[in-house]
Structure 1
Amino acid sequence: MTIAVAVSGGMDSLLSLVLMKEQGHDVMAVHGHFLPENPDWERVTNGLTEACKVLGVPFHAVDLHHQFDELVVAPFVRDYRAGLTPNPCALCNPLMKFGILFDAICELGADSIATGHYVSMEDRPDTGRMLVRGADLSKDQSYFLSLVSIDKLRHAWFPLATTLKKDVLAILDAHGLTPPIPSESQEICFVPRDDYQAFLLEHGDMPGPGPVRLADGTVVGRHQGLWRHTQGQRRGLGIAWKEALYVIDKDIPNNALVVGPKNELESPGCVAGQVNLMVEPTQWPETVMLQTRYRQRAKPSHYAYDGEKLTFHFIEPHTRPTPGQVAAVYDESGAVLGGGVIERSL
């Protein structure tokens, strides 16, 4: 069996290649070129070519930037225009890394894929092989994989399951390897300097100004575009008020930004669509652990599934989830039961 290790040029995927090789697997390295006009393209491919020569593994680079633009970048712009706050990394995983790139590695003769995600796959007696949080909880990326089909994940390897991020560079150095991209990747890989507002202005006809109002309809200011704001935001509103105001919601039909005091940020639940089930809900525990943001502790929730959408009822106080973000569902052990895209709060 040949395993294709997806190498981005960063430290994590390069270490994954090292570990898979050391474990005796028949491996190849595959770099998916996702970004158009990327000035680092030549440096990355040259660096990966040299690293693969040291390791004695074949290297392939495949140009997928047109597919990436169509499947990830264009929806990112479209969702922001619609007033959502999308999560492009969570979308990229099922559509690109475990979609288009997975198909490409199969054409190259590989049977499965390995990536540098900090997650694990574990066998469970009742549900089979499951996606589980990685050992380094500070870097766990299971949230971003919750929209990937379990069938694809069962053809995947995650060599960093038990690795701690702080040890990665030292291990590579011991092997005489330097990643072509030694620094941490930016928040959104295709947005220069992490300035998503400038990116959106360059790539889309974004909606203009409108009123800022309280829940009772009182107008307290003007916004310069709903796409510039997200739920829970406090800074940058430019409103002088008797108490601190936060973004509570977006009234899309009326192009209005709804703000209020901090206590109005709490939500009793949310609805998620585009559901990806890793375990049928009939096998879920009565109480699941729900994570609605990457940097958030999963919290207990009840749920209902109607065959299309998941409705969650929070058991303890929960900040209002953001439409467009991912709702990842776990059991108490950290195994992922499924995921969906948040549509609205209750």
Structure 2
Amino acid sequence: MTEKRSPCTVGVAMSGGVDSTVAAAILLEQGFSVHGFFMQLPLPGLDEQIRKVQRVADDLGIPLHLVEMEEEFRKRVIAYFTDSYCQGRTPNPCVVCNQEIKFDLLTEAILAQGMDKTATGHYAGIYQVNGINGTALLQRGKDPKKDQSYFLCRLSSQQLEHTLFPLADHCKKDIFLRAQDFGFTQFGGDESQDVCFLANQNLATFLSEQGLKSMRGEIATEDGKVLGSHEGIWKYTVGQRRGLGIPDATPWYVIKLDAKSNRVIIGKNDELFQRELLLSDVQWQLELPIPWQGKVQLRSRHQAAEAEVSPVENGNWRVRFKESQRAVTPGQFAVLYQEDMVVASGVIVS
């Protein structure tokens, strides 16, 4: 007599939003045994958020597990966020959170509860190189407007091996319809905020609360001409136009943040364009011919552009684009795509 095998058990990272809710519902529809997992983070309105997620879990008929992550989130994400601004860099906390919190610590907690797989409501896919047992690579989601592979770029093949993305082949507009089909009518087309811990708070106010002090410095051009003053370079980012307070016939933009001299360097729009940049901490997912050629994406809403990537001194890598790119921002991640697959990523240095 053949023993009946129990269904695969999946732990779904749930926020109470439409994406994770529909992801869990799709897995239930497909016959998986589903548990919900909610990360308790140092966010405004946490108690109400827990009640919201619990209502969703109850409607789905699945158990909900609360996982305390407040201290680790402060150490790994918020500290990185504030330190980056101190150094004149513009961070991407979602990339770091996905790598170190959601797909690391939370995944450990989910697997420790006896789950076979983990799942999230991200719009991305997984491609197995050389068949089912090959290297797992992150793949762009079907919806080009919602694709979140950029934010997941630092996930390793090992992290992807036990991960499911139920929304990989779905478009965002269809997810709201699916939610209604599943009986959820509370989602009115709202989108989640990129930096969850900011909520509706002003960035400068948040950073001040984290201990960053105002430090008066100069606003100057690349050739050293001082045109104004600022109260802290962490209040600015490359490409910024508003808030400079320097009138002219054509707009001024932030083109560089010099942490050593506490200077905000400004210039005209054409000074924001460059064809080369330097990357540090490059993580390759595959062994590929070097120099590598493909498309490189510089931020979440940047159109990936053709470039060549080659090694230079000190373990860094040079990216040389075919066409100049605007507002290259130190601290952000550059993601390398071969067709629609993520093959590497690195941190923009300069």
Q: TM-score normalised to the size of structure 1?
A: 0.92
Quick one: which of 149, 170, 173 aligns to 2:177? Answer: 170
Alpha-carbon RMSD across the aligned residues, in angstroms, is: 2.1
SS in structure 2 of the partner of residue 329 of structure 1: strand
* CA-to-aligned-CA distance 1:64-89 (integer Å, 9 cap, x gap): 11111111111111111121110111
Query: How many residues get paired?
Result: 340
- Partners of 2:208 and 2:188 lie apart in 1 by 28
Alignment match, 1:134: 141
2:34 maps to 27
Structure-1 residue corresponding to 2:97: 92
Counterpart of 2:302 (choices 258, 278, 296) is 296
| CA distance in 1 between partners of 2:147 and 2:23 (Å) | 15
Distance, in Å, in 1 between the alignment partners of 2:195 and 2:292 is 35
In the TM superposition, residue 149 of structure 1 has moved relative to its aligned partner by 1.4
Q: Distance in 1 between matches of 2:180 and 2:50?
A: 20
Q: CA offset at residue 242 of structure 1?
A: 4.2
Give the superposition deviation at 1:111: 2.6
Q: Once the 2 structures are TM-superposed, how far is the Cα of residue 285 of structure 1 from its aligned partner?
A: 7.9
Structure 2 stretches of 5 or more lacking a match?
Answer: 1-7
For 2:330 and 2:220, the matched residues in 1 are separated by 19
Report deviation, 1:178: 4.8
Q: Which amino acid aligns with 2:100?
A: L
Unaligned 5+ segments in structure 1 are: none
- Deviation at residue 18 of structure 1 after TM alignment: 0.5
**CA shift at 1:269, angstroms?**
1.4
Displacement after TM superposition at 1:179 (Å): 5.9
Report deviation, 1:258: 1.1
Amino acid at match of 2:230: H
CA separation of 1:194 and 1:187: change in aligned 2, threshold 3 A: farther
For residues 1-346 of structure 1, the aligned pairs below 5 Å read 1-36=8-43, 38-39=44-45, 41-125=46-130, 128-178=135-185, 183-282=190-289, 286-305=292-311, 308-331=315-338, 333-344=339-350
Q: Distance in 2 between matches of 1:180 and 1:107?
A: 32
Cα displacement string for residues 107-163 of structure 1 (whole angstroms, at most 9, x for unaligned residues): 111132100100011234397432111011101000001112121012210000111
Equivalent residue letter for 1:206: K
State the SS of the aligned residue for 1:336. Answer: strand
> In structure 1, how many angstroms separate the alpha carbons of the residues matched to 2:172 and 2:152?
18
Per-residue CA deviation, residues 82-111 of structure 1 (Å, 9 max, x unaligned), is 211101111100010011111111111113
TM-score for both structures, normalised by structure 2: 0.91
Change (3 A) 1:240 1:42: closer
Contact 1:281 1:305 in 2 (8 A): no
2:124 counterpart letter in structure 1: V
Moved more, 117-126 or 173-182: 173-182
Change beyond 3 A, Cα 1:51–1:251: closer
Give the Å deviation of 1:21.
Answer: 1.0
Which letter does structure 2 place at the counterpart of 1:141?
A: Q
Shift of 1:48: 2.8
Aligned mates of 2:228, 2:210 — CA distance in 1: 27
AA partner of residue 102 (structure 2): K
Identity score, percent: 35
Q: Partners of 1:110 and 1:181 in 2: how far apart?
A: 32
Does structure 2 conserve the Cα–Cα contact (< 8 Å) formed by 1:10 and 1:182? no
Q: Secondary structure at the match of 1:190?
A: helix
Which secondary structure does the structure 2 equivalent of 1:102 belong to? Answer: helix
Q: For 2:37 and 2:310, how far apart are their aligned partners in 1?
A: 41
- Aligned mates of 1:281, 1:232 — CA distance in 2: 33
CA 1:330–1:52: 2 relative to 1, 3 Å: same
